Amino acid sequence: MQIRRLRLTGFKSFVDPADLRIEHGLTGVVGPNGCGKSNLLEALRWTMGENSPKSMRGAGMEDVIFAGTATRPPRDFAEVSILAEGAGEEIEIVRRIERGAGSAYRINGRDVRAKDVALLFADAATGAHSPALVSQGRIGAVIAAKPADRRAMLEEAAGIAGLHVRRRDAEQK
């Protein structure tokens, strides 16, 4: 899976909509101190499901919303979209947070749970953390889970497996 585009609105210092195309190969982000390089990487990780405010350098999750400057009022929401491409298929993942209302996720325009996004990236061997950390965490969680929880996880995985079956079907038509 490759990330092809990143769009941000109201996320940290990116108060105005920003649209970044990401080309094949290695991408470097350059610019003066404080211009938002780290914020960009945080936007990627946040959209993939990062939920630790500390790792977003904030005290609470709403700190990712543009907080205002001397000349610009604060925003009520932040939204980031990742357009990814894998196996010739495009998938758009959107995370949005509103003050007082928490986060919502969409995959290809459909409302989904945070879990669905986490599974999507776990399945695609990428994600908010390194691939190894995500898969190790998931394996550990499955092993340590109570039977009922393990069943829920497996059902979740089966739901994603269903998506792949549908994709194969579509490719054969």
Among 7, 12, 95, 96, which residue sits at the site for ligand ATP (rule: CB under 6 A)? 12
Task: Indicate whether 28 belongs to the interface with ligand ATP (CB under 6 A).
Answer: no
Nearer to Mg ion by C-beta: 33 or 172? 33
Place of tokens 């080309």: 23
Task: Indicate whether 135 belongs to the interface with ligand ATP (CB under 6 A).
Answer: no
User: What's the min distance (Å) between Cβ of 66 and ligand ATP?
Assistant: 4
Pairwise CA distance, residues 142 & 98, whole Å? 32
Q: Rounded to whole angstroms, what are the CA distances from 146 to 48, 50, 107, 136, 155? A: 26, 24, 29, 18, 14
Question: Which among 43, 35, 49 is positioned nearest to 112, based on CA atoms?
Answer: 49
Please give the structure tokens belonging to residue 112.
């989904």
Nearer to ligand ATP by C-beta: 42 or 123? 42
Please give the structure tokens belonging to residue 98.
């509103």
Task: Indicate whether 101 belongs to the interface with ligand ATP (CB under 6 A).
Answer: no
Pairwise CA distance, residues 50 & 141, whole Å? 17
Among 2, 17, 35, 111, which residue sits at the site for ligand ATP (rule: CB under 6 A)? 35
Pairwise CA distance, residues 14 & 16, whole Å? 6
Q: Binding site for ATP: residue ranges?
A: 32-39
Pairwise CA distance, residues 54 & 61, whole Å? 9
Nearer to Mg ion by C-beta: 58 or 137? 58
Question: Rule CB under 5 A: which of 48-107 touch Mg ion?
Answer: none
Among 25, 34, 60, 147, which residue sits at the site for ligand ATP (rule: CB under 6 A)? 34
Task: Indicate whether 100 belongs to the interface with ligand ATP (CB under 6 A).
Answer: no
State the sign of the Cα–Cα–Cα–Cα dihedral 110, 113, 117, 120. Answer: negative
Question: Rule CB under 6 A: which of 36-75 touch ligand ATP?
Answer: 36-39, 63, 65-67
Please, which residues bridge with residue 104 across strands?
Answer: 96
Task: Indicate whether 13 belongs to the interface with Mg ion (CB under 5 A).
Answer: no
Task: Give the binding-site size for Mg ion (rule: CB under 5 A).
Answer: 2
Q: Which residue ranges make up the site for Mg ion (CB under 5 A)?
A: 37-38
